[in-house]
Amino acid sequence: MTLARSLFFVIVALLVLVAVVSFLVVLSRSTQVESLSAQEVQEVPGVHEVPQVIWTYWDDDADMPGVVQFAIDSWRRCNPDWIINVLTPATLGTYVDATAFRHVDSPQRLSDYLRLNILAEHGGVWSDASVIMTRGLDWLLEYLAESQCTFFGYYLEGFTTDMRYPVLESWFFACTPGNPFVTHWRDAFMLLDTFDSIDEYITWVLLSTDILKIDSPGYLTIHLAAQLAMQHRITDDIRESMCYLKAEDGPYKYIVSQGWESEAAMRNLCARPDEAPPPLVKLRGSERGYVDEGMEALRCLRV
């Protein structure tokens, strides 16, 4: 073999080696966020911050009830510098492939699929379209900065029997992009696709997981998935990166004070004008039914 031919093969081998190393470096970087622990998230510049984006979903492109429009308008007025992303059936394909999820049996289930998949990747704030804001989200950003948490949510004390595993609500939560807990939460929820039915998934979860006082597990499947993640999937450092507040002391305070009676809660929501409302007020379907066309029942929440 001539010297020139030997040099040719050496050069080719070196080029192949360089290409392989470059590929591995790119692959490592592309998967880095998905596999970060809570501590590592804090060490990556920019990843520890929650993006100033509010995500929500409404399942009708043409018809948005007045109370829903009232809620979303409150977000815009309170957070003029934030991006408000209102997803609809016509626009959600920009972010996720809804056809990839087998168990879209209701708008609520689709919404659960959207919130977990979108926030696991992009981060930001998820808010249901029935959450009214009475002030900007600066309080949330300050709380996260002071606590050094990368996830924030509300828990329902009435469903929680073990504070190691608070029953998280899904109608409002915030996280960093690639957040470890939300990634585990999403993965636990997406295990639905490995079962032929929702009931089979629930039965399987119950074999290993304490669902505390969660009722209607078929409807609150996303709550079960959160428990599966918290009880079996996350590490202590991820747990320490999570912060939550009691829903009954904030967004649900108005209805808890009336014994969870929707009509009384809406009748008395604005009965004490001297008392400042909490930053968020969550209306369930039963409360929305008592909101009149002129939004008079919500007059004290206008900002």
The CATH number linked to 207 is 3.90.550.10
Read off the tokens for 104.
Answer: 């879209």
Number of domains in the chain: 1
* CA 54 from centre of chain: 10
Q: CA–CA separation, 289 vs 13, rounded Å? A: 72
Q: CA–CA separation, 93 vs 110, rounded Å? A: 12
Domain presence at residue 248: yes
What's the domain range around 110? 50-301
Domain presence at residue 256: yes
pLDDT on residue 46: 46
3-state secondary structure of 235: coil
pLDDT on residue 44: 40
pLDDT on residue 280: 98
Given a cut of 70, the residues of the chain with pLDDT beneath it are 1-48
Domain presence at residue 155: yes
pLDDT on residue 17: 44
Q: CA–CA separation, 199 vs 217, rounded Å? A: 9
3-state secondary structure of 63: coil
- Which of 168, 160, 162 has the alpha carbon at shortest distance from 188? 168
pLDDT on residue 293: 76
Domain presence at residue 2: no
- Which of 110, 112, 228, 215 has the alpha carbon at shortest distance from 170? 112
pLDDT on residue 9: 52
pTM for the model stands at 0.83
Hey, what's the torsion of the CAs at 115, 121, 123, 127, to 10 degrees? -10
Domain presence at residue 176: yes
Domain presence at residue 292: yes
Domain presence at residue 153: yes
pLDDT on residue 95: 93
pLDDT on residue 5: 53
Q: CA–CA separation, 223 vs 255, rounded Å? A: 21
Domain presence at residue 94: yes
